[in-house]
Amino acid sequence: IWTYTKEDATHQILHLINLRNNDNLWVDEQGNKKDPEILHNLKVKFYTDKKISAAYLASPDYNGCESTPLPFETGKDPSGTYLQFTVGTLEYWGMVYLVS
């Protein structure tokens, strides 16, 4: 899974690009690449120093790209403070946005 993060004063965004069974050249203008393996119940641990009040998941792959609340837990380990959540399905692309 290729990830990309971005943030502003009140949000952190985590993009999840599914490259399972593909290479990392994910732009496919010719439409020749095979579909990635659909992932289910993907556990994600995201380190942040911000206090997060809500998390949401949006994806064009399901639910009409509508944001859905994403339950999460917080914790701390030797690497720092983190959020842990489960993405139910990741087909091609999912965006998790966190509200602080």
pTM: 0.87
Whole-number Å distance between alpha carbons of 67 and 54: 12
What is the average pLDDT across 9-34? 84
Structure tokens at 81: 């403070």
- Ramachandran angles phi, psi of 53, nearest 5°: -100, -25
Structure confidence at residue 98 (pLDDT): 98
Helices marked H in 1-72 — which ranges? none
Give the chain's domains with CATH numbers: 2-99 (2.60.40.1180)
* Strand 80-90 to 68-69 pairing: unpaired
Structure confidence at residue 54 (pLDDT): 98
What is the average pLDDT across 20-48? 86
Structure confidence at residue 65 (pLDDT): 85
Structure confidence at residue 29 (pLDDT): 80
Question: Would you list the DSSP string of 61-86?
Answer: TSGGG--EE--EEEEEETTEEEEEEE
Structure confidence at residue 26 (pLDDT): 65
The answer to whether the CB of 54 falls within 8 A of the CB of 71 is no
The type of residue at 94 is G
